[in-house]
Amino acid sequence: MTTFPSPTPSLIVLNEAVAVWACYITLGLWGACGLICVLASAFNWKWFFTAPSTRRIAARIGLTKTRWLYALLGLILIGMTLYALQQSLTATA
């Protein structure tokens, strides 16, 4: 059986720092996606609602309901981002 040496403490700290920054980058992407959804629905951005995925939804439920749906999804994403950020900050403090 092969045994591996245990990592040095500095390597463990580096891995934790990388994991924390990866978490913050992911949360930033979630927040940006949520903000784009909310802004697109508020300002009725044509490029957003003429994309194939949103066009299919708009064809089924109508453009107004699609805008409300994306506003709700954006707010949920922003809320999830803020909650996860708050949880990660209290866990690292």
12 within domain boundaries: no
Domain range for 49: 27-92
**Are 66 and 49 spatial neighbours (Cβ–Cβ below 8 Å)?**
yes
How many residues are recorded in the chain? 93
39 within domain boundaries: yes
Please return the burial class of 77, using the count of CB atoms within 10 Å of its CB with bins 0-12, 13-18 and 19+: buried
pTM, to two decimals: 0.79
4 within domain boundaries: no
55 within domain boundaries: yes
How many structural domains are present in the chain?
Answer: 1
List C-alpha distances in Å: 24 to 45, 69, 81, 82.
28, 26, 10, 11
87 within domain boundaries: yes
Question: 19-42, pLDDT tens digit by residue?
Answer: 788 889 999 999 999 999 999 999
Question: 38-81, pLDDT tens digit by residue?
Answer: 999 999 999 999 999 999 999 999 999 999 999 999 999 999 99
14 within domain boundaries: no
